[in-house]
Amino acid sequence: MEVKTDTKEKFHAIRVVSSHLTANMAADLYEQLAPILQTSIPNVVLNVKDVKHLDEDAAELVVKLQQHFYDNNASFVICNINREVEDFLEKANLLELMNITPTESEAWDIVQMEEIERELLNDEGDEI
């Protein structure tokens, strides 16, 4: 599966370069992104502006991938989702499980806020 990666100071901006995201492609995406958790910049912004269709199994894998990041104290924000995909996710009851923003800029803001929140929570834990 082809993705374009741009590493920023606090996150990796990953853009899916495909109009249809299948379950196999989502599994490949999972395999490509999971190792990011072991890097010094473990956060991901997933830009899906090119995706026009996705399979329900693919959507479920993206939800699992996002949860895997949050379980490991890292951010995973999806941005630039098109209306058809958003409607599909809503009907599949998956939309509310995803951390979605309208633009990549807003996704960056979410990652930065979550980073600050994690730092503050860690500082509070050290004081107890």
CATH code at position 95: 3.30.750.24
Kindly tell me if the per-residue pLDDT of 101 is higher than 90.
yes
Hey, is 78 helix, strand or coil? strand
- The stretch 33-44 carries a mean pLDDT of 96
Distance (Å, rounded) from C-alpha 15 to C-alpha 45? Answer: 8
Residue 59: burial class (beta carbons within 10 Å; 0-12, 13-18, 19+): buried
Of 103, 10, 87, the closest CA to residue 48 belongs to 103
Dihedral angle computed from the Cα positions of residues 15, 18, 23 and 28, in that order, rounded to the nearest 10 degrees? -50
- The stretch 18-45 carries a mean pLDDT of 96
pTM: 0.92
Q: How many domains does the chain have?
A: 1
Q: What is the span of the domain harbouring residue 74?
A: 3-127
Predicted confidence at residue 30, as pLDDT, reads 95
